[in-house]
Amino acid sequence: MQTLNSRPEESTALIVDRSQYTVAEVLVFAKRLQDLLSDALVKIKKETRPLDACFVLPSLNPVSYMIGFVACLNAGVGVIPWREQAISLDRLMNLVRPDGLIKITDAPGTGFSLELFDQPELEFSRPGQVVMLTSGSTGQPKGVTLGVAQLIRNAELAGSAINLSACSKWAIDIDMALMSATSHMVMAWQYDKPLLHLLDMPNDSSDREFSDGCTGFGGSPIQLVRMSERLGAKTQPNKMMSSGDFLAPAMLDQIRTSFPNTEIYKFYGLTELSGRFCFVSNQELFKYKSAAGRPLPGFEVRIACENEEGGIGEIEAKSDLITAGYYVGDGQFQAIEGDWFSTGDIGSLENGMLTLIGRSDDVMKVGGEKVDRQTIESALTEILYQHEYCVLSVQHSLFGQCPALFIAENSAYNIPAWDEIVQAMKKKLSSRFIPSLIFRLEEGLPRLANGKIDRVKLKTEFQQYPRLH
């Protein structure tokens, strides 16, 4: 079984605020937890097949998460990254049937205990070793199972694509249980780079960490935009890597204005594909601003049912890095069938470059003509780049099927007036693309267990949110 690279023990593994943890410290703490896991395997009678055991790893503290993740991989047991604020333990237990919970009993990373569960036996041997929680397009949580070798290989491909070796350290600012954050952590480990977690780090500390001009940063498009506002004028990352949501051209232009010398890379991927799938290099990014990218080595891509080059259809992927399947609850496992995986995304492929249009359910008919969510969201970035927002198709009693815009409140910036938003859009798009309904959300956009926007909740409960007039 492939596991994480060996690293010099004196190397820095993690930086959180003003504390640093060496590889040696991480491994010492991980060994203590491994001993607990070994004892637990005897108690639950799985010492001969440790992979059939699976433990929940809370993600609130980056230090404990890294140590716990390394310990589980080294012990050969399964690990379920858990965002405590996103999904209850009871719901998680029903979904994946874990054998126990790793509990932090002391200062971060120095003390662990295990709470073992009396769970019914699964009717199958557990595939993979890492179970990432996601919900896809249904809004219902699922556990995507991935092998360690798959996760590591994907992280190595991403690191190679951006030439991570040129960075002094790699920074993130998201919950560690998210697929993106875990991928960044593994990527930094494989390339022997300190992982800098900006959790609650004040701006002056951030400036210091990026002052060498060699520190890279990875995150969602809105996080890249906020980083361009957060760092001082003379401080900029060596590289920035966008993944998760779509990096719109207007956001890209703002980042480039703030960081003219920073290399920027755009990635498109799915948890089911072990993380990243396609990427646009810094050299091609401004030539193909709207593209999702070319497949990483080892991936093939096609458009289902396309009739010609450049035709629009559902994006399908083929690779050894595709998940074996899903935990769907009640001890049930749903295997992935066939060589090609349907992503649920709609796009086009031309000259090897993939362009993403949206989800299969993101295309709506307004006035008898098709409208896609991605076009509307892209047109809004120039006026709403300081806010989190999304566009969805909703069914309204008066308007019928129509696009609705949901904007999260931002304490630092006021939401533009309704007429400002509409006028800005009219300069770029025809009237059928203008959202018929605009809502402001004081508590932010609702999130699923995997950190993605809860679109099902927005679409079904949109009438409860205050309208922007």
| β-sheet bridge partners, residue 266 | 242, 280
pLDDT, residue 361, reads 63
> 325's torsion region: left (phi>0), alpha (psi -120 to 50) or beta?
left
| CA separation, residue 240 to residues 107, 255, 266, 390 (Å) | 32, 9, 9, 23
* Cα within 13 Å of Cα(123), Cβ side: 7
Per-residue b or e along 372-381, where b marks 16 or more CB atoms closer than 10 Å to that residue's CB: bbbbbbbbbb
pLDDT, residue 377, reads 87
Digit-coded pLDDT (tens) for 28-42: 999 999 999 999 999
| CA separation, residue 76 to residues 6, 11, 71, 261 (Å) | 16, 24, 9, 43
The verdict on pTM exceeding 0.85 is no
Strands 54-58 and 78-82: parallel
DSSP states along 374-439: HHHHHHHHHHHTTS-EEEEEEEETTTEEEEEEEEE-BTTBPPPPHHHHHHHHHTTS-GGGS-SEEE
Q: Are 266 and 293 in contact (CB under 8 A)?
A: yes
Structure tokens at 437: 């309904």
Give the closest residue to 259 by CA, choosing from 295, 234, 279, 277.
Answer: 234
Say if residue 394 is exposed, middle or buried (CB neighbours under 10 Å; 0-12, 13-18, 19+): buried
CB atoms closer than 10 angstroms to residue 47: 13
Structure tokens at 401: 């099927």
Angle at 382 between CA 183 and CA 228, to 5 degrees: 45
Residues of the chain where predicted confidence (pLDDT) is lower than 70: 1-2, 106-110, 135-139, 233, 244-245, 305-310, 358-363, 365, 367-370, 396-400, 449-451
Q: Are 149 and 332 in contact (CB under 8 A)?
A: no
Strands 195-197 and 169-172: parallel
Digit-coded pLDDT (tens) for 156-174: 999 999 999 999 999 999 8
Strands 130-134 and 142-146: antiparallel
pLDDT, residue 163, reads 97
pLDDT, residue 322, reads 96
Say whether 466 sits in a helix, a strand or coil. Answer: coil
pLDDT, residue 262, reads 94
DSSP states along 239-254: EEEE-SS---HHHHHH
pLDDT, residue 244, reads 67
Q: Are 308 and 292 in contact (CB under 8 A)?
A: no
Q: Are 404 and 412 in contact (CB under 8 A)?
A: no
DSSP one-letter code for 137: T
Q: Are 265 and 167 in contact (CB under 8 A)?
A: no
The distance from CA 155 to its chain's CA centroid, rounded to whole angstroms, is 13
pLDDT, residue 346, reads 81
- The size of the chain, in residues, is 469
Say whether 31 sits in a helix, a strand or coil. Answer: helix
Helix (H) or strand (E) holding 170: strand 169-172
pLDDT, residue 417, reads 92
pLDDT, residue 139, reads 56
Give the closest residue to 51 by CA, choosing from 143, 161, 153, 127.
Answer: 127
